[in-house]
Amino acid sequence: MGRIVGHLDMDAFFASVEERDRPYLKGSPVIIGSDPEEGKGRGVVSTANYHARKLGIGSALPISKAWQLCEDFRKEGGARCVFITAGIGKYTHASQEVFSIVSSTIPVMSQSSIDEASLDLTFCETFSAAEELVKNLKEEIYKKTNLTCSIGIGPNKMIAKIASDFDKPDGLTVIVPEEVDSFLQPLSIRSIPGVGKVTAKALKKWGVETIADVQHYSWQDLQNKFGKHGFSLWERARGIDAHPVEKRKAKSQSIGKHHTFNVDTKDIHEVYAVLQKHIKSIVKEVQKQGFSGFRTVVLTVRFEDFNTVTRSLTLDAPICSAKALELKTTKLVLPFFEKTENPKNLAIRLIGVRVEKLT
């Protein structure tokens, strides 16, 4: 039996997390990146939501250019853009939440960035069973995190990745083996992972723009032109990719746990009981992974309205005991039961603790 591989990629990830947590952003073009400094900023865009993408704004665009495009849009009567400085802690938490849901459904997955992962779905046995499984997975992710993702399914990692990008946002594209060729042929060669600007420019000189165009060349032609990448280009243009989905366990940058309450709560004792359980298992995991301590403690709170807040503290010297972590966590959580961090006295939907700067 052949393989069945999935690829999951969150939609406009950093921007979607911000939009979820700040409902007033709804409908506005949102740009996450460095400070635009009224057009003088020197950094780049991390990502943009789909409203902003319509204005030509996307990852890696200079932030000053994004500012200019927004100004032009506003002068034509369009909505004002919102620029937000990336808050990576928040996105790391969202990512951990998503992929812990994924890994509880799919035994073998390999996360390749903060917002994407390959999924080994061969155990589903048929493409239609795999489709049903990921449909439910998408729903579960949305229900628990209020975030959408796009998933592709195909006979290998490359096809799955290209398929995940095919119908964004909130897409699900299934390419069975018989459809691989007709799916690939009309696509731009830039859709092939690894074909960047340089290769695309060189191929354009031959009049090659689509995958169908590149299929006309023999592997010898491509190898003469591109060296050893030529052969892999020949293979990829035919949808051949033998890379397995490998369960990779990189050394952790952070260790954390979170919990969604069955019913939103304002009960400090209930929250505290969950935190104590988390603290114990985090300290155990820290030791199990061979670390001697950590210096940063991060607390995440999601309120009933889905607004999600993270608060952290970093110590000069590492700590390692459950008691010490409990003290620090208490310091972070108490303000959420007071006006300081919870002026509207909202109930809590989710609570999470994470430790970082592991030593």
Of 8, 9, 137, 141, the one binding Mg ion (CB under 5 A) is 9
Residues 6+ apart with CB under 8 A from 138: 148, 149, 151, 170, 172
Question: Interface with Mg ion includes 15 (CB under 5 A)?
Answer: no
Q: Which of these segments, 12-20, 59-67, 258-266, 328-336, binds Mg ion (CB under 5 A)?
A: 12-20
Footprint on this chain of ligand TTP (rule: CB under 6 A): 9-14, 46-47, 59-60, 114-116, 168-169
Task: Please report how close the Cβ of residue 10 comes to Mg ion at its closest, in angstroms.
Answer: 5
The token pair at 267 is 């009960």
Cα(216)–Cα(183) distance, rounded to whole angstroms? 16
Q: Which does 297 bind (CB under 5 to 8 A by kind): ligand TTP, Mg ion, none?
A: none
**Residue 114 contacts which entry, Mg ion, ligand TTP, none (Cβ below 5-8 A, type-dependent):** ligand TTP
Nearer to ligand TTP, 10 or 351 (CB): 10
Rounded to an integer, what distance in angstroms lies between the CA atom of residue 318 and that of residue 314?
Answer: 9
Q: How far is the CB of 75 from ligand TTP (least distance, A)?
A: 27
Binding at 168: pick from ligand TTP, Mg ion, none (beta carbon under 5-8 Å per type)? ligand TTP
CA atoms within 13 A of residue 73's CA, in its CB half-sphere: 20
Q: How far is the CB of 97 from ligand TTP (least distance, A)?
A: 15
Angle at 348 between CA 344 and CA 350, to 5 degrees: 145
Active site residues per annotation: 116
10 binds Mg ion (CB under 5 A): yes
**Which of Mg ion, ligand TTP, none sits in contact with 241, Cβ below 5 to 8 A by type?**
none
In contact, 186 and 163? CB cutoff 8 Å: no
Beta 116-120 vs 254-265: how paired, if at all? unpaired
Q: Which helix (H) or strand (E) holds 34?
A: none
What value, to the nearest 5°, has the Cα angle with vertex 168 and ends 1 and 72?
A: 160
Task: Return the residues of window 112-151 that contact Mg ion according to CB under 5 A.
Answer: 115
Binding positions for Mg ion, rule: CB under 5 A: 9-10, 13, 115
